Structure 1
């Protein structure tokens, strides 16, 4: 497994563990291993590993979905209170781990471009996967921080002094990478497991990108492509099977095997599930305000939300396994899944005036939860219900609620009564350590 420390990106001197591309890409097997190392690193990287300082946790705390049980951890409390200090260590790890992944994908791409020993079909496949991972990482960075440096090379001197690129430029690179990936990747998964990117993983993420950029027609078209791939993907009736490894609702997942240790549980399960015996270890709980929005008959309440009596705390129970060292691995961390594509298409259709079709998509999600079909009286009512269902369906997954509140301009209505809230809190601060290392970086407004 390839690994680069968080300091590699900003180091002007060539690190001692620099990837020697002429060696790593001297055979097809080593090239495949290099990309496998990137997937494995996603399970170790702070922003993507589902653990304490992952997007799922810190952006969940920033939203109205989860809160700290243990309030003594000041770094996590700063996310919950929207008072993030630029020196916050969680924020630094979020930023630096994402750029570490970007460095690895750039090194992989340069190795592929310069190698003459890899069959063209395999080289284009690996390039598509690497560009997908890079686009995925930049998508998270640009939505959490706004304008960020767009690093597309392993050139240390250039990277160390890179200025911010505008949100529009970063998004264009994301689109370029994903369009390439969706064109060259196969519909099948290269390893047979849903832990590598395929055509539909790229298409699904691209649908989200176009949704965020309010290009409704493209978002509808691309989400439809994924939804129509019914031979591979389906909405599962049993909610307790959704987050299993290689479930038919999964479009892309991250495997715990990337951790390299004996644990075979997801970090998501370990963080969110409150152990019935050792509950004193718990640090995160669901907000009662979220739990109270679920109707009694909603299957998500019974299947995806647990309750610990000793703490009087509700917890996310999408993942059932808190700790495990057993094989085969039962659960993988979910990154992209089919339910989101229905919600993407529903929203895109609302903004195109296709209210009946949008309502049908929304009701796929509601009816799976055993709720009666929703009948909208207006576009506003349908949009309101759509964002309610996005919160209920996607809670504790990848900061969806936080990003939804930001992009829909609903954050003020949710947090406006909090005296600590300020509109500048919508973006996380650039870490102080990065500003010190790179004099060309500027801090986000409000910090």
Structure 2
């Protein structure tokens, strides 16, 4: 074998180092490119959702001068029974005809009447019910515009020229007239946060879905957290280490990876078909989500218990504390931050679930806000699913707006979990 000189050895080492440096730079570049692609995809997703959903927080309103004519309303006095049968639609149509007296013909009038939302009569009913002295009087009232008018106006830059969609020339001219006179304006859409679901986009809101999500999460938290923590304490502090406990641990880990729709099928078979609990209720939804989030809470709680140093247990035992006192007074308080973090993450996961709730009937059309855990309800992800399947153009922006609200809650919950962990955790 030929002996290499010192210069040749140095040259080979430098060549090997240069190759290693190139590979390291390539690996680092691939990592940076992957992160950049992920950030770009997230920014693209958020930009698309925000651009489509921001319009749902603004609603077009039409101002009309209405006369509470008893002859048109068909009532003589204001009471609950008369308001039920009063012809508020006729009052609104009369106001529209007076505003545009040149409109004639059945088809033109039908199109004129579609300027305002079909929920406008309920606005008049509420105003007259709140102030019976308005009977026989005239006042100017703002009504929500129809979804086609709202979409048409939002597609323009403060003018009624450009995009038409399903809007006819006559409708565009009426919109322009109302806009120029100040009788048409855009304002914050409080209906989106105060109403339940509706077939009409301009009347649809997320309040019922938000309350349903809250009640469902309350049931889930009330059941999953104490059961999950108790199971984790038993497995980590009391259970003997044998093949049965090993089997239980393996199954818990496997349940964390089971598709969520399987839990929906389980809830349908047990809670609804066997126990005959009410379908589409937060109680059943909470029970199903409890089964789904239990593995996550158990695993995170066990990890939190393992992080407590054995010296804490030994010191408490040395002071004469019982096994239960050691766990309740020393180990559990120190592990609680990690347990709470796991519970918040589990609740965030439950908040975004749709598939298991579809299986138990929470896909129902819910207008009224649920008052309890046994009332019919839906949740925000299911509401998004329903709106995404609606053919009306105006539901596109409401779907995106509901996604924005859901993402806001998820971001807040996950951020709270991180901050809570950082604030309460102890380093040993």
Instruction: Give the TM-score band, short-chain normalised.
Output: under 0.3
TM-score, length basis structure 2 = 0.22
> Is the radius of gyration larger for structure 1 or structure 2?
2
TM value normalised by structure 1? 0.21
Which structure has more helix as a fraction of its residues? 2
